[in-house]
Copies of this chain bind each other. A is one copy, B any other.
Amino acid sequence: MAQQERAIATRRKLLVGAAEVFDERGYAAASINEIQARSGVKKGAMYFHFKSKEEIAQGVMASQLELPTEPRSSSASPMQQVIDLTHELAHRLRTDVLFRASIRLTVEQGTFQPHDSNAYDWWLRVFARDLARAQGAGELRAELTPEDVAASVVGSFTGIQMLSHVTCDRRDLHDRLTKWWQQILPGLTTPRTVAGLEPAGSPELELSGTG
Contacts and interface: CB of A to CB of B under 8 A. Distances in A.
A67 B26 CA distance: 30
Interface residues of A, number: 43
B151 A162 contact: no
Interface in A26-60: 26-29
Contact of A188 (B29, B107, B151, B183): B183
A9 interface: no
Contacts of A110: 26, 104, 108
A115 interface: yes
A184 interface: yes
Contacts of A184: 152, 183-184, 187
A176 B161 CA distance: 19
Contacts of A112: 28
A160 B159 contact: yes
Interface in A143-159: 144, 148-149, 151-152, 154-159
A184 B186 CA distance: 8
Contacts of A185: 187
Nearest to A194: B187
25 contacts: A26-B111, A104-B110, A108-B110, A115-B166, A120-B163, A144-B183, A148-B183, A152-B156, A152-B160, A152-B180, A152-B184, A154-B159, A155-B156, A155-B164, A155-B176, A156-B159, A156-B160, A158-B158, A159-B162, A183-B184, A183-B187, A183-B188, A184-B184, A186-B186, A187-B187
Given A115-B165, A183-B188, A185-B187, 9 more contacts: A108-B110, A152-B176, A152-B180, A155-B162, A155-B180, A156-B160, A183-B184, A183-B187, A187-B187
